[in-house]
């Protein structure tokens, strides 16, 4: 493996571990075992765990928000865009045995143990998701396809919190069926 491939593989494994176990339960030894390299090689790429977490959050934010921006740019109506957005959370949970959740949800649960740069990136992830949901909600309000009272930011916060929380709770209740029931209830409340 070349340096770039090794770095990518380290990030991939670390992301999977954090999404399943949390950042504080993940160690460089776990990554070393999974990638098949020495811990010193991980330290070459990421001298401290905070360096690894920061790189990981930046990569995750970029990828996730790019996908959401693609949803926003589509010609679809607001309910379809909202369903596609929710589908991103379903996809994360589906690609595991019901134990893998959003990276930023796991990091958010352990926020006080993160460095300031990583904590700021996690906060930015949630704020940028809210901003994008506001666009969908305002489109739906204009179309008459999504109805809600009050400030769209409050509804956007509710949606993000509901989905992230549902992913965490679904780990204790059997996985995807729980999240699907939350999705259905959310869409029943908003889409008319």
DSSP string, 96-157: TTS----HHHHHHHTGGGS-HHHHHHHHHHHHHHHHHHHHHHHHHHHHTSB---S-HHHHHH
In CATH, which superfamily holds the domain spanning 49-190?
Answer: Tetracycline Repressor, domain 2 (1.10.357.10)
First vs last C-alpha separation in the chain: 53
- Closest by CA to 183, choosing from 167, 192, 168, is 167
pLDDT score for 108:
95
Contact 98, 20 (CB under 8 A): no
Decide: helix, strand or coil at residue 81. Answer: helix
For the chain, what's the residue count?
192
The H-or-E segment that residue 7 falls in is helix 3-21
- pLDDT tens digits along 6-44: 999 999 999 999 999 999 999 999 999 999 999 999 999
Contacts of 93 (CB under 8 A, 6+ apart): 100, 101, 167, 170, 175, 176, 179
- pLDDT tens digits along 102-159: 999 999 999 999 999 999 999 999 999 999 999 999 999 999 999 999 999 999 999 9
Mean pLDDT of 71-96: 95
Q: List the structure tokens of 3.
A: 């340096």
pLDDT score for 1:
59
What's the whole-model pTM score?
A: 0.93
Contact 108, 127 (CB under 8 A): no
pLDDT score for 124:
97
pLDDT score for 94:
87
Contacts of 147 (CB under 8 A, 6+ apart): 140, 141, 190, 192
pLDDT score for 30:
96
């Amino acid at each position: 493996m070349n340096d770039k491939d090794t770095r990518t593989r380290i990030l991939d494994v670390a992301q999977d571990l954090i999404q399943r176990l949390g950042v504080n339960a993940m160690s460089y030894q776990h990554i070393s075992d999974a990638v098949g390299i020495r811990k010193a090689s991980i330290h070459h790429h990421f001298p401290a765990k905070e360096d690894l977490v920061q790189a990981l959050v930046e990569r995750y934010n970029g990828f996730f928000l790019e996908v959401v921006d693609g949803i926003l740019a589509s010609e679809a109506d607001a309910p379809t865009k909202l369903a596609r957005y929710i589908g991103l959370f379903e996809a994360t949970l589906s690609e595991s045995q019901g134990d893998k959740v959003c990276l930023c949800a796991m990091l958010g649960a352990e926020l006080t143990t993160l460095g300031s740069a990583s904590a700021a990136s996690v906060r930015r992830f949630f704020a940028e998701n809210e901003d994008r949901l506001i666009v969908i909600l305002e489109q739906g309000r204009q179309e008459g396809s999504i109805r809600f009272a009050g400030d769209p930011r409050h509804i956007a916060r509710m949606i993000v919190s509901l989905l992230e929380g549902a992913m965490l709770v679904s780990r204790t209740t059997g996985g995807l069926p729980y999240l699907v029931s939350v999705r259905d209830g959310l869409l029943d409340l908003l889409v008319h």
